[in-house]
Structure 1
Amino acid sequence: MPGLADEKQPVPVLEGATRSGQPLTADSVAKALGPALADSRLGPKVSSVVLDLETGDRLYDKSGDTLATPASTIKLSTAAAALVARGSEYRIETKVVAGPNPGEVVIIGGGDVTLSVDGAGAYPGAGKLSDLATQVKTALAGQAVTKVIVDSSLFTGAGTGPGWAPADIGSWVNTVVPLAVDGGRVDPKDPAGEGAKRQPDPAASAGSAFAKLLSTDKVSVVAGKADVGAREYGKVLSPTIGRLVEFALLRSDNVLAEALARQAALGRGKQASFEGAMEGVQEAVAGLGLTPPTGQVDGSGMSPKNQVPASYLGGLFVRAAKPDHPELRYLFTGLPVAGFSGGLDPRYPPTADGTGVVRAKTGTLTGVDALAGVITTKSGRAVVFVVMADASPSFADARPAIDKAAGQLAKL
């Protein structure tokens, strides 16, 4: 799977935008969006808001405070919470400590699912098991390793989210664990991308990969728990939370989004479970002065049970643009850019309205199509645009209708 380094470079759609260009009028926005959002391809239930990014003024409202299914646009909420709870520079540790007997080591999952075997995996800058193995060998000073114990006790509760489609588990999303290599992908270069086949037990697979790096002889791999105060043999660090947020948003990485939700929980002193993650998200968002998303039930948006209003997602962007929470800038830098990167790359041809100036998170489930982000209009003004159509008859039809609406707004 291609890493972010392989993406085309987006244009700087936000630079200076909030301070340039005349504010749009509600009338002009309504004339541009009203017909576009009345498109029958979107289905009978459409909610949308347009906000001025600088002032927060609501320029357009179509059922904007009505609960709707956000699909993957809810990753914006998860990302904001993780950034607030942990800070953008925080890195997740994966440690190895002494086991209970000579020759035994314990690898402790700290919540990093982006680990790489040797640096050639799915995530640029990932912590490498090869580095961890080198540290352990040095610490053991020639003593052979006979057993690797995998401690994945950090995450608790159910491993899969409420309402997740069984067919999606093991590909688009997977059992949520605190230790995984390449997001649990069987093949990190699988052209299926985020839909790639996943390991049935990602933590055990990571333990087996680590064991192979420690010895050419057979090393047993078992589940277990580290002793309190056990001697540390080595550790590796994940990319920063800011960088992980960029990965999750640009790629719409469901596995990583669920791991980030657990970081929101841990950063707030909660259990790293679905319930604890949502408590962490709500606390972090409340700390931003926004109404907490009590209808959010997972970190990725894979559950159709998620329910939030379009105005909530719009408010996140307005809040992120303020100078007092600079960590939230990653909500902008991680967004796909129309015609250039992520899920919006193939949706906008070079000559389309919106190419290069629509930067937004996509969302798709059966019957649900959504888009939430920032658009720099032709006049040079940055506006927040959120639309959720959660009774759409066909995503193949609804998606171009949403893209057309964003393009109409970009022309103002």
Structure 2
Amino acid sequence: MKRSTHVVLAAAVIALVAAVVAVAAVLTHADTGSAQALPGHPLVTADPGVVPVSDSAGMPTAAGMAAALAVPVADPNLGNVSGRVTDAKTGKQIWEYRSTVPLLPASTNKTLTTGAALLALNRDERVTTTVVAADQTSQPGVVVLVGGGDPILSAAPAGQQTWYRGAARINDLADQIRKSGITATAVQVDDSLYSGPDFAPGWDPADIDGGDIAPMQSVMIDAGRIQPTTAESARSRTPALDAGRALASALGLDPAKVAMAPNPPTGRQLAAVQSAPLIERLRQMMNASDNVMAESIGREVAKATGRPVSFAGAVDAVTNKLSAAGVDMTGAALFDSSGLSVLDRLTATTLDEVVQAAAGPDQPAMRPLLDVVPIAGGSGTLSDRFVGGDPKASSAGWLRAKTGSLTAINSLAGIVTDNSGRVLTFAFISNDAGPMGRVALDNLAGVLRTCGCGS
């Protein structure tokens, strides 16, 4: 997702709806466990839980859905639009509009990357970054930072919060090096894990300064963010070298003398740190629509399936994993794992089938996908959308979806519980959108919550 275009709790799993819980301050007696109201506050109790959708919740009819969506889908602000709506429980298509036409998906492409990662990797999978010794005979004191595919290492000092939750720290590597018995005199960086170009076809180099992407290298600091505590930070053009310079600084060495390693090092390991678990990284990537994280996770899928750790290898791995899981990949033409490339093409059918695979009974490994997408009016890139108006008709809290935004491009792929209690999956793609394109797309998706549609 491009920042330049930035202008529920339902369906955590199929047939489940999270109960809304009000929390009040209470004082519990240690001996009895009984609750007592604090002075000046009435006692309020809550019974949190997950409530199953009624088995009697009717499925919308095709005719009812078509009638409900006829007006919003015709909004000229949507431009070139396609869409599909499916019943989550049965997998039956309820509505479609040009759903097999390949269009530019923008960041909804990350839905495919997430689904494939959950199929190919353990949800607790971590990425390891190491430091090894160079040949101490010819290069005494030289240590090599070896990129393992973790782009969100942090240079923040111990005790200081990191930009990315659970990020490994450069200072921990430096501490381990000091204890290794080697006195470091210089730092090199090995970026050989990734192959092929570091910038994808269809990416705009201006997006580096715009803060949307960095050259994909196998070790970075804060995903290449130059100012990690600034939301709109530009990205670096030399992220691997920056990581090496951060390590040199932590070791008290001159960061200006850091160089790329001429060959993969073969010396002994001096230090290692690990990333946050995959599920946490997916949650951060999907909620913030982080392009660098998406590209690195796509490469993890490539590595796990024996493919080149490159743009092409990641695309091949992701599409093949999903195809093997029964997702219709007809019309898919992808050049990256993030959706930033203007050359990417997907159909609404493919996007909806990815969500449907996560919601249905046949691919339980993909189920966490439903929990890592933003919540309408509540989190991530949907935190300020589907808000306002009549709360009884609002999708806020009931709709979860991955967003996509590029210039004149808007998309949504996700899941919603309608007002009769039926869980639906959906995907909408809008290309060549008008000035109110995003609003028009939200209006289209918002109908799914309230229409009833002849059930």
Normalised to the residue count of structure 2, the TM-score between the two structures is: 0.83
Distance (whole Å) between structure 2 residues aligned to residue 87 and residue 340 of structure 1: 28
- One-letter amino acid matched to 1:331: L
SS in 2 for 1:373: strand
Does the 8 Å CA contact 2:110/2:339 hold for their aligned counterparts?
A: yes
Correspondence 1:82 to 2:121: no
1:92 and 2:127 correspond = yes
Alignment of 1:254-265 (within 5 A): 254-265=291-302
The AA in structure 2 aligned to 1:263 is E
Q: Deviations over 1:134-193 (max 9, x none)?
A: 1111112xx42111110011111111111112321342111111111111101111132x
Q: Secondary structure at the match of 1:308?
A: coil
Aligned to 1:6: none
Cα deviation code 1:221-247 (max 9, x no counterpart): 110156564211111111112211111
Could you say if the C-alpha distance between residues 218 and 301 of structure 1 is closer, same or farther in structure 2, counting changes exceeding 3 Å? closer
The answer to whether structure 1 residue 128 and structure 2 residue 169 are counterparts is yes
The answer to whether residue 85 in structure 2 is matched with residue 62 in structure 1 is no
User: CA offset at residue 211 of structure 1?
Assistant: 1.1
User: Per-residue deviation at 1:407?
Assistant: 1.4
Answer whether contact 1:144 1:215 (CA < 8 A) is retained: no
State the partner residue of 1:278: 315
> In structure 1, the residue corresponding to 2:127 is in which secondary structure?
strand
In 1, Cα distance between equivalents of 2:257 and 2:265? 22
Match of 1:302 among 336, 340, 343: 340
Structure 1 position 399, deviation (Å): 0.5
Tell me the CA shift for residue 346 of structure 1: 1.2
Select the residue among 374, 381, 391 that pairs with 1:336: 374
Q: Which residue of 2 aligns with 1:35?
A: 71
Q: Which amino acid aligns with 1:173?
A: I
Q: CA RMSD in A?
A: 1.9
Taking structure 1 as reference, are residues 272 and 23 closer, same or farther at Cα in structure 2, changes over 3 Å only? Answer: same
- 8 Å Cα contact 2:11-2:370 kept in structure 1: no
Q: Which moved more, 1:351-360 or 1:246-255?
A: 351-360
Counterpart AA for 1:387: F
CA distance in 2, matches of 1:363, 1:122: 23
User: Are 1:115 and 1:181, in contact at CA under 8 Å, matched by a contact in 2?
Assistant: yes
- 1:214: how far off? 1.6
Q: Which amino acid aligns with 2:249?
A: K
Change (3 A) 1:327 1:226: farther
SS at match of 1:84: helix
Deviates more, 1:292-301 or 1:253-262: 292-301
Quick one: which amino acid aligns to residue 399 of structure 2? V
Cα offset, 1:388, TM superposition = 0.6
Partner residue in 2 for 1:252: 289
**Greater helix percent: which structure?**
1
| Amino acid across the alignment from 2:274 | L
| Alignment of 1:407 onto 2:407 | no
SS in structure 2 at match of 1:279: helix
Distance of 2:146 and 2:103 partners within structure 1: 38
1:362 is aligned to 2:403: yes
The equivalent residue for 1:317 is 355
Alpha-carbon deviations, 1:32-60, whole Å to 9, x = none? 212111111111x2100001112111000
> Mapping of 1:8-407 within 5 angstroms?
11-14=9-12, 16-17=16-17, 19-20=53-54, 21-43=57-79, 45-100=80-135, 101-118=139-156, 120-140=161-181, 143-170=182-209, 171-192=211-232, 196-215=233-252, 220-224=257-261, 227=264, 229-292=266-329, 294-323=332-361, 325-351=363-389, 353-394=394-435, 397-407=436-446
Point out where structure 2 has 5 or more consecutive residues left out of the alignment: 1-7, 18-51
* Deviation digits for residues 76-108 of structure 1 (CA, Å, limit 9, x no counterpart): 011112222222221111011111232111111
Q: Would the aligned equivalents of 1:154 and 1:178 in 2 still touch at CA under 8 Å?
A: yes
For structure 1, the residue ranges without an aligned partner over 5 or more in a row are 1-9
Q: Distance in 2 between matches of 1:162 and 1:227?
A: 27
CA contact (8 A) 1:111 1:178 kept: yes
1:14·1:376 contact (CA, 8 Å) conserved in 2? no
Rg comparison, structure with higher value: 2
CA distance in 1, matches of 2:93, 2:11: 21
Contact residue 113 and residue 297 of structure 2 kept, 8 A:
yes
Q: Deviations over 1:239-285 (max 9, x none)?
A: 11221111111101011111111111111111111111111112211
- Give the partner amino acid of 1:26: A
Distance 1:250 1:315 in 2: 20
Equivalent-residue separation in structure 1 for 2:388 and 2:219 (angstroms): 40
Deviates more, 1:375-384 or 1:11-20: 11-20
Paired residues of 2:10 and 2:400 also in contact (CA < 8 A) = no
Asked if structure 1 preserves the Cα contact closer than 8 Å seen for 2:144 and 2:265, the reply is no
CA distance in 1, matches of 2:272, 2:361: 34
For normalisation by structure 1, the TM-score amounts to: 0.91
Q: What amino acid maps onto 1:34 in structure 2?
A: A
Is the 8 Å Cα contact of residues 146 and 220 (structure 1) preserved in structure 2?
no
Is contact 1:249-1:335 (8 Å) kept? yes
Point out the more displaced range, 156-165 or 323-332.
323-332
Q: CA offsets, 1:327-356, max 9 Å, x none?
A: 322311111111111111112224452111
